[in-house]
Amino acid sequence: MNNNNAPVIEDEVEVSDFKPLTAEEAQRLREQNPEASPWWVIAAQVASGLIVALVAWAWVRQPVAAGSAIYGALAVALPAALFLRATRRGAQQLSQSAAMLAFFVWELIKIVLTVALLAAAPWLIRDLNWLALVAGVVVALKMYWVALLVRPRFLNRI
């Protein structure tokens, strides 16, 4: 009887051909694959909000639609920028558990601030265009997914 769940004997384990990198190879690898700056995501959120605002203005032919769309995008981008600034500042001095706690606290602040900005929209924008506002929010939120798929090297230095 063949038992597929039998433990693997150490002799049967494949030998790994892992070779640690030299300092020069590691440096070359870092230069070829630089760390992406998260600030370009914030810039993409604002830029996409401006594009949605232009489309909304051209479609509805009312400036309030453009204002609603850009407000929606900024309701996502401004709290995200605050979160990014807060979590990057002094992160090296914190222990791992303190850094994780700070991350969660600032993420909560980001969510609450976004919801508060969206809730305040009817009082801040006269004749608010809800469709344009939601379009601005959705497009700005989609920039997080774009950031995972596209990491342009020319924006890494922002």
Specify the pLDDT at position 99: 79
Q: Contact, 46 vs 74, CB < 8 A?
A: yes
Q: Contact, 129 vs 53, CB < 8 A?
A: no
Nearest-angstrom CA–CA distance, 123 and 126? 7
Nearest-angstrom CA–CA distance, 138 and 45? 10
Specify the pLDDT at position 102: 85
Specify the pLDDT at position 13: 55
Specify the pLDDT at position 20: 80
Q: What is the pLDDT along the chain (158 residues), one digit of tens a residue?
A: 555 665 655 555 565 677 787 888 878 877 776 666 788 889 989 999 999 999 999 998 988 999 999 999 999 999 999 999 988 886 677 778 887 888 899 999 999 999 999 999 999 988 989 999 999 999 999 988 887 777 655 455 44
The residue among 119, 133, 21 whose CA lies nearest residue 73 is: 133
Specify the pLDDT at position 26: 77
Sign of CA dihedral 128, 134, 137, 143: negative
Specify the pLDDT at position 98: 82
Nearest-angstrom CA–CA distance, 86 and 91? 9
| Opening angle at CA 105, ends 120 and 84, nearest 5 | 75
Q: At 20, list the tokens.
A: 């640690």
